[in-house]
């Protein structure tokens, strides 16, 4: 998340290439040779890095790529340090910039590219996320991981129960493992709901989310955990791109006509969290069901239509968050249901 800034004070430009264990740092300062150092990607290394950057007499502009858990703690430490302004960049954007500058691909070269980016490109200051938002996202992703493991264990149990070769002790152990996973998921969901209740703004968004047919409490926890940290000024199109549900078209001249597909370039956790609600919504919400059937009548596959429903649900979520009003399908589909009622569509081929 970032916001534009008019800051022009920085004369020292720093790029940091973040990996799991180390930070490759490059500093470009006017009338000074390029400086490069390496620090550990731990709290002690962050402290040493801030101390090294703090020796400069002017504002230091730092750029690093968003690399999930590896960059988050560093970003929080740099954002709290005096004399440092921070930008956390989309890796794809940096890669496009880098293609004009470098031939080698190393951590040190990447740090230099980021330092060059700091000095040449418009600066977008990083917005520090809320603690409750970070905690909710961590809980939601942990619940999702537990759910994946629960599905795997259930499949193992099904296989074991169908096999005469599986001893009883294995089956009993798998059943105990499944029960333990279920208890952990229930406890984690309870903790997440307690966290949401502590923040009035997040709690209101949770209430609005569950007003959408197909989104119950479990799905709402995961969806909200991914949306709560997005910048409030983001448009719905930016939401869709962030989620990786934006369509990609490949048409060129008269010879290239490849099927359209979604980019899948965004937040996979949010994309997965929307799938089951979309599947449920086409059964229980008349408006989304009509939209789904319309797409199938236009010869879209079931999966393509379902992905379009997930994207439409994201539009609905953006709208209800902005208006602070519960879901109303009539606003999302003003005339679709009426047309479906009076002019039934032909059966899909």
**Which range (50-59, 200-209, 332-341) has the least confidence?**
332-341
Instruction: Examine the fold and report which residue of 171, 201, 226 is the final residue of a domain before the chain moves on.
Output: 226
14 and 89 inside one domain = yes
24-41, pLDDT tens digit by residue?
999 999 889 999 999 999
Mean predicted confidence (pLDDT) in 145-171:
96
Q: Is the pLDDT of residue 336 over 50?
A: yes
266-281, pLDDT tens digit by residue?
789 999 999 999 999 9
Q: How confident is the model at residue 338 (pLDDT cuts 50, 70, 90)?
A: low
Task: Give the chain's mean pLDDT.
Answer: 88
Predicted local confidence at residue 260, as pLDDT: 65
Q: How confident is the model at residue 103 (pLDDT cuts 50, 70, 90)?
A: low
Interior CA angle at 264 toward 260 and 266, to 5°? 135
Q: How confident is the model at residue 98 (pLDDT cuts 50, 70, 90)?
A: confident
What domain range is 116 assigned to? 2-126
237 and 322 inside one domain = yes
Instruction: Examine the fold and report which residue of 200, 226, 252 is the final residue of a domain before the chain moves on.
Output: 226
191 and 266 inside one domain = no
CATH number of the domain encompassing residue 56: 3.30.420.10
212-240, pLDDT tens digit by residue?
999 999 999 999 999 999 988 899 999 99
Q: Is the pLDDT of residue 265 over 90?
A: no
59 and 39 inside one domain = yes
Asked if residue 160 is part of any domain, the answer here is yes
- Look up residue 123 and give its two tokens: 């600066």
207 and 265 inside one domain = no
Asked if residue 310 is part of any domain, the answer here is yes
163 and 71 inside one domain = no
Name residues whose C-beta falls within 8 Å of residue 86's C-beta, 6 or more positions apart in sequence. 62, 63, 64, 75, 78, 79, 125, 126
Mean predicted confidence (pLDDT) in 258-267:
72
Q: Is the pLDDT of residue 3 over 70?
A: no
Q: How many domains does one find in the chain?
A: 3
Distance CA 111, CA 105 (A): 10
Instruction: Examine the fold and report which residue of 211, 226, 241 is the final residue of a domain before the chain moves on.
Output: 226
11 and 48 inside one domain = yes
């Amino acid at each position: 998340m970032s916001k534009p800034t008019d800051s022009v004070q920085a004369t020292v430009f720093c790029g940091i290439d973040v990996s799991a264990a180390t930070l490759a740092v490059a500093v470009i300062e006017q009338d000074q040779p390029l400086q490069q150092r390496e620090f550990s990607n731990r709290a002690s290394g962050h402290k040493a890095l801030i101390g090294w950057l703090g020796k400069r007499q002017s504002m230091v502009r730092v750029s690093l790529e968003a690399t999930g858990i590896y960059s988050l703690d560093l970003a929080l430490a740099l954002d709290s340090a005096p004399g440092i302004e921070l930008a956390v960049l989309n890796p794809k954007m940096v890669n496009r910039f880098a293609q004009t500058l470098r031939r080698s691909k190393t951590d040190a070269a990447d740090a230099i590219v980021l330092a060059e980016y700091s000095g040449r490109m418009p600066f977008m200051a990083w917005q520090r996320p809320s603690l409750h938002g970070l905690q909710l996202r961590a809980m939601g992703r942990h619940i999702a991981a537990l759910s994946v493991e629960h599905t795997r264990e259930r499949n193992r149990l099904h296989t074991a129960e169908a096999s005469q070769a599986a001893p009883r002790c294995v089956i009993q152990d798998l059943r105990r493992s499944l029960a333990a996973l279920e208890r952990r998921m229930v406890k984690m969901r309870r903790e997440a709901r307690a966290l949401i209740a502590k923040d009035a703004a997040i709690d209101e968004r949770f209430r609005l989310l569950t007003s959408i047919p197909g989104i119950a409490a479990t799905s709402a926890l995961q969806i909200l955990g991914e949306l709560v940290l997005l910048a409030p000024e983001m448009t719905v199109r930016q939401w869709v791109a962030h989620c990786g549900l934006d369509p990609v078209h490949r048409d060129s001249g008269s010879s290239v006509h490849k099927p359209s597909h979604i980019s899948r370039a965004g937040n996979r956790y949010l994309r997965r969290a929307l799938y089951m609600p979309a599947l449920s919504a086409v059964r229980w919400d008349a408006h989304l069901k009509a939209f789904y059937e319309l797409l199938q009548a236009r010869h879209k596959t079931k999966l393509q239509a379902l992905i379009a429903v997930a994207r439409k649900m994201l539009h609905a979520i953006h709208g209800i968050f902005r208006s602070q009003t519960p879901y109303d399908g009539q606003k999302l589909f003003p005339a679709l249901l009426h047309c479906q009622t009076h002019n039934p569509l032909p059966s899909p081929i």
